[in-house]
Amino acid sequence: MLNTFTLQIARFEGKKWVKKLPYTDQAPPLTSEEIESLLKENNIARICSHNKDGTIHAVPVHYKYINGQIVMVFSDSSRKTRNIKRKHDVTVLIDTGRPFRGILIYGKAELGYDNVHQLAVSVHETSGQPREKVERFAHAHLDPAKCVIVKVTPKRIVTFGYA
């Protein structure tokens, strides 16, 4: 038996996800609650940004879902940061293995330099490490002067799942 692939489009309004009609007549694969749960439970995403030559730069990153935004910490000199400085449009993919489902987020990235250490600890805490260990790592390896906070505000999302 073949797996069935379904797509569902949603948008973020205020503090909740509002769904539009699915592309197929099947039931939507992810409810608002499932979207929120997937965003909060996972800690690895793939962020895609635009290189100078028009190609896509895609890399896995730690993230934390905070107040409707995907929050990440990058080196200020990384390719993804340079790409975002040039063009703020990004795509973020957050998915799971089994059952295979995910969220594709199209959004705008904004860069910030305030509270880098604090947010870095918060983002990397999602890896499951004790806070003290994460704080030691952040203090030893993350120079706040060389790091940037990236916040992605979703403009449109597509959810998918295999039944």
For 54-74, what is each residue's pLDDT tens digit?
999 999 998 989 888 999 988
Q: Under CATH, which number does the domain 5-162 receive?
A: 2.30.110.10
How would you class 80 by CB atoms within 10 Å of its CB: exposed for 0-12, middle for 13-18, buried for 19 or more?
Answer: buried
Mean pLDDT, the chain, as a whole number?
A: 80
Q: Where are the domains of the chain?
A: 5-162
Tokens 């995907």, located at residue: 70
Q: What is the pLDDT of residue 70?
A: 94
Contact 99, 53 (CB under 8 A): no
Confidence of residue 42 (pLDDT cuts 50, 70, 90): confident
For 101-113, what is each residue's pLDDT tens digit?
889 999 999 999 8
Specify the pTM: 0.75
Return the closest-CA partner of residue 80 out of 3, 72, 96.
72
How would you class 8 by CB atoms within 10 Å of its CB: exposed for 0-12, middle for 13-18, buried for 19 or more?
Answer: buried
| Mean pLDDT, residues 14-40 | 66
Of 43-52, 74-83, 144-153, give the lowest mean pLDDT range. Answer: 144-153
For 127-143, what is each residue's pLDDT tens digit?
667 777 777 777 666 66
Name the token pair of 145: 């002067």
Q: What is the 3-state secondary structure of the chain?
A: CCCCEEEEEEEEECCEEEECCCCCCCCCCCCHHHHHHHHHHCCEEEEEEECCCCCEEEEEEECEEECCEEEEEEECCCHHHHHHHHCCEEEEEEEECCCCEEEEEEEEEEEECCCHHHHHHHHHHCCCCCHHHHHHHHHHHCCHHHEEEEEEEEEEEEEEEEC
- Tell me the C-alpha distance between 19 and 159, whole Å: 10
* Bond from prior residue into 99 cis (ω within 30 degrees of 0): yes
Question: Is residue 114 over pLDDT 80?
Answer: yes
Question: Is residue 36 over pLDDT 70?
Answer: yes
